[in-house]
Amino acid sequence: MIGAVEGDALTRYRYPALTPGGLPTEVCVEAYLLRVDSQASPAGRERLREPVWFDPEDVITRLSQNREPRFARENRRVLKLALKRLGSTDGNG
């Protein structure tokens, strides 16, 4: 994606990860809004990914699949904050 990232983080959220030894843990991730001006093909190790756009309700469903409930709730919270910042009424409240 090519665009401008909002200066301040929208929020922080917890995300599951593995320690270098392979033990489960969680990390704190900062989420930023990005105004997309154009799309470019992914590069480097990301080149195997194929970015897809979803409407907010589909995002909530997709980000909840195969996730622990607490991380699904975090994803929903971040999406709701983004939609609120953008002035959208989508995303089911």
Q: Is residue 32 in some structural domain?
A: yes
Q: Is residue 93 in some structural domain?
A: no
Measure CA 22 to chain center: 23
User: In sequence order, what E strands does 1-93 have?
Assistant: 2-5, 11-18, 24-31, 34-38
d(CA 16, CA 27) in angstroms, rounded, equals 6
d(CA 2, CA 40) in angstroms, rounded, equals 7
Entry pTM: 0.72
Q: Give percent of the chain above pLDDT 90.
A: 40
Q: Whose structure tokens read 């799309």? A: 39
- Identify the domain containing residue 64 by its residue range: 2-86
User: pLDDT class for 52, splitting at 50, 70, 90?
Assistant: confident
Q: Is residue 91 in some structural domain?
A: no
The pLDDT assigned to 88 comes to 58
The set of residues, in sequence order, having a beta carbon less than 8 Å from that of 48 and lying 6+ positions away, is 42
Number of domains composing the chain: 1
pLDDT, mean of residues 43-67: 83
